[in-house]
Amino acid sequence: MLGTVLGKTIIFVENIFKFNASSFPGRVVLKLFPNYLKKLKYPKLVIMVTGSSGKGSTTKYIADILKKNNMTVGHNVYGSNLLDGIATAIIRVTKGKTVKADALVLEVDERYLKFVTKYIKANIIAINNITRDQPPRQGNYEEVFGEICKGLNTDTLVLNADDPLLKRFEDVFDGKIVYYGIDKNQYSFKELDDIKNTAYCPKCHTKLVYDYYHYSSVGDFECPKCDFDRGKINYEIDSIKDNVVTINNDVKITIDNDTLFNLYNIVSTYAVCKTINMSDEKIVNALNHDKTMRKLFNEYTINDRKYTILNCKAENNATYNLNLLHVLKDKDRKTLVIGLRQISRRYDHFDLSWLWDINFEILKDNNIDKIICAGPYRYDIAVRVKYAGFDEKNIIIMENTNGMKEIIENQTSGNIYGILNFDYVEPFIKETKGGK
């Protein structure tokens, strides 16, 4: 088919010039052949993952497992998750009219799901979460929910049962729903002074009652008035100990890090793979010690001080909140570096309201020496931290990472946690490791 030939040619040319051909070829092909995706013959297995965060890591886990079990996989590995990027990933594995892969594993943007499933029917759509994220683009979580509802062209949904917002898909989806979750564990909270959204029952507007929280309004909930609750869980992490998680009291997986995000990505991956009838053995062997999350989580030691990098997404308070909870697992003396350069790669807005949806208050009285606020929005970050009850004297303000190594070494103490936006991770690591 002409579209395939054209797409592959562009990919070939882009590769020669060392461009990262992640969405341009697809864009050109769809422009010239708008129905290109409709005409292709797809593999029997099409898995899509969407939601506000974690979809990239989850699809990587799933694709890795399938590949390690000798399947060929088409996967938008570069994270281009709009229609153009997905088309590009598909062109890479297509010959003529046939997608020559055993499976497609696609990370799909929440708002673009409806455009993708217009052309490609999914066997499974996994939805990780819907949280406050990119307000200028997304509006709010209710609008995102509505947009996803328009794209549920799938046999099965795989959902996070701990998120009351996702339970609402039951009302709009007639197919099979598989639920996963995380049981109460040593990191759960009895109370969390951070209940912002969906704390009310979506059916009768009564305040939900929680047995425990994992973060925000995610946890074990039930409505005291009607029958709305967390319900039956098909696949559940029961315990986490020394980086080994146990699922359904039976299956043990050794993970690279025990951030809550990673735990959710792992159990979501497991639920998807079980839904396609993979054996526990195959899943576990492939997942054990998987390094997928390395990009988001990095540890090193310099001059006897431990550095932990926690990658956050600006405008997404959930990633920050989860990372702050991770910091607090460390009871020793700590110094925090909070930095970001750009609020968004997609648009120029300067809204920092989301900083106020991050529960910095939990840092109070937790053995924190200094907080370094860095980047063009350093004062906004500093104001937020100050209002969270942190003494202005212990806030260090820096325009960028230049000279930060010296400041850390001379003016701060304890383990260092970098709570960094994706665009601050590299500069920070470079600076602290000494320009290597």
Partner 1 sequence: MNIGYIYYDLLNLYGDDGNVKALKQRLTNQGVKVNIDYISLGDIINFAKYDIVYIGSGTDDNLLIALDYLKEYKSDIKRYINGNKFFLATGNSVELFGKYIQKGEEKLEALDILNYYTEYNDSRIVNDINYSCTQSSKNIIGFENHRGHIISKEKNFLYKDDNKYGVVYNNFIGTYLIGPLLIRNPYFLEEYIKRLLNTENIKEDNYYLEIEAYKKAVELIE
Which residues would be at the binding site for partner 1 (CB under 8 A)?
132, 135-136, 139-143, 195-197, 199-200, 205-207, 349-357, 376-377, 379-380, 382-383, 386-387, 392
In this complex, which beta carbon is closest to partner 1, that of residue 330 or of residue 380? 380
> Tokens 């708008």 belong to which residue?
34
In this complex, which beta carbon is closest to partner 1, that of residue 125 or of residue 358? 358
Least Å distance between CB 141 and partner 1?
7
Closest CA to 407 of 369, 376, 360, 379: 369
Least Å distance between CB 197 and partner 1?
8
Least Å distance between CB 105 and partner 1?
32
Least Å distance between CB 336 and partner 1?
17
Least Å distance between CB 85 and partner 1?
24
> Tokens 């898909």 belong to which residue?
169
Rg over alpha carbons for the chain, rounded to the nearest Å, is 22
In this complex, which beta carbon is closest to partner 1, that of residue 142 or of residue 426? 142
Least Å distance between CB 222 and partner 1?
17
In this complex, which beta carbon is closest to partner 1, that of residue 197 or of residue 257? 197
What are 81's two structure tokens? 């998750």
Side-chain half-sphere exposure of 300, counting CA atoms within 13 A: 12
In this complex, which beta carbon is closest to partner 1, that of residue 353 or of residue 402? 353
Contact between 130 and 52 (Cβ < 8 Å): yes
Closest CA to 45 of 65, 31, 30: 65
In this complex, which beta carbon is closest to partner 1, that of residue 302 or of residue 383? 383
In this complex, which beta carbon is closest to partner 1, that of residue 173 or of residue 200? 200
Strands 122-127 and 154-160: parallel
- The CA distance from 261 to 57, in Å, is 10
Closest CA to 344 of 85, 147, 133, 145: 133
- The CA distance from 177 to 145, in Å, is 16
Rounded to 10 degrees, what is the CA torsion of 53, 55, 61, 65? 160
- The CA distance from 309 to 295, in Å, is 9
In this complex, which beta carbon is closest to partner 1, that of residue 202 or of residue 231? 202
Contact between 193 and 389 (Cβ < 8 Å): no
- The CA distance from 261 to 426, in Å, is 21
In this complex, which beta carbon is closest to partner 1, that of residue 26 or of residue 219? 219
Least Å distance between CB 389 and partner 1?
10
Least Å distance between CB 361 and partner 1?
10
- The CA distance from 90 to 95, in Å, is 10
64: which residues sit within 8 A by CB, 6+ positions away? 286, 287, 290, 292
In this complex, which beta carbon is closest to partner 1, that of residue 34 or of residue 146? 146
Q: What are phi and psi of 178, to 5 degrees?
A: -110, 130
In this complex, which beta carbon is closest to partner 1, that of residue 142 or of residue 227? 142
Least Å distance between CB 12 and partner 1?
39
> For the residues of 54-121, what is the DSSP string, one character each?
SHHHHHHHHHHHHHHTT--EEE-TT---SHHHHHHHHHHTEETTEE-SSEEEEE--TTTHHHHHHH--
> Tokens 């063009």 belong to which residue?
376
Least Å distance between CB 267 and partner 1?
28
Least Å distance between CB 360 and partner 1?
11
